[in-house]
Structure formats: C-alpha cells, structure tokens
Amino acid sequence: MRLEVERRTFRLARALETSYGEVAERELAIVALSDAGGVDGYGEAAPLPSYDGPDIETVVAALSRYEDVVARWDGEAGVQ
C-alpha cells in the first residue's frame, strides 16, 4: 500500500465572509492510497487555522509520518 500527500490551494468561486474575516481560498492536503492491485482511494484534510485548527504544515507532517506504516500494511486487520 502506498500513501501520497500533496498540498493544493483552491480559490473559492466566491469569497466566504465569516466572523474571522474573509475566506477566499483553502489550502488542502490531498491524500491518495494505492495498493499493488491497482485500487486507488482519495481523500482530503482541510485544516482551517483561523477556526483554531492546526495549520497545513502540521497536517501534512502528521500524514507523512504514516507513509512507512501504510507501506507495511498487508490489507488485513492490524499492521505487520
């Protein structure tokens, strides 16, 4: 199993007004999982530090720490 994490910034079609200010774009961590059989899965982590969440660097670093764990996973419950 392979884990890939990519940072992407997306501009909103229309800025969102919030109590914390305007949000015009979002920076995301795009997550891809691929197995040897060619099965792919995709997801995202969308931190929003202005709402007291972690920043994108913290999220990407946390996800990247799992690359070795995911690489050892054999598809069964638990990691070998």
pLDDT at 4 over 70: yes
Q: What is the pTM of this model?
A: 0.74
CB 28 within 8 A of CB 50: no
Q: Name the one residue in this structure whose structure tokens are 């007004």.
A: 17
What is the predicted pLDDT for the residue at 78?
Answer: 58
pLDDT at 9 over 60: yes
Per-residue pLDDT tens digits for 52-74 = 789 999 999 999 999 888 888 76
Average pLDDT over every residue of 33-48: 88
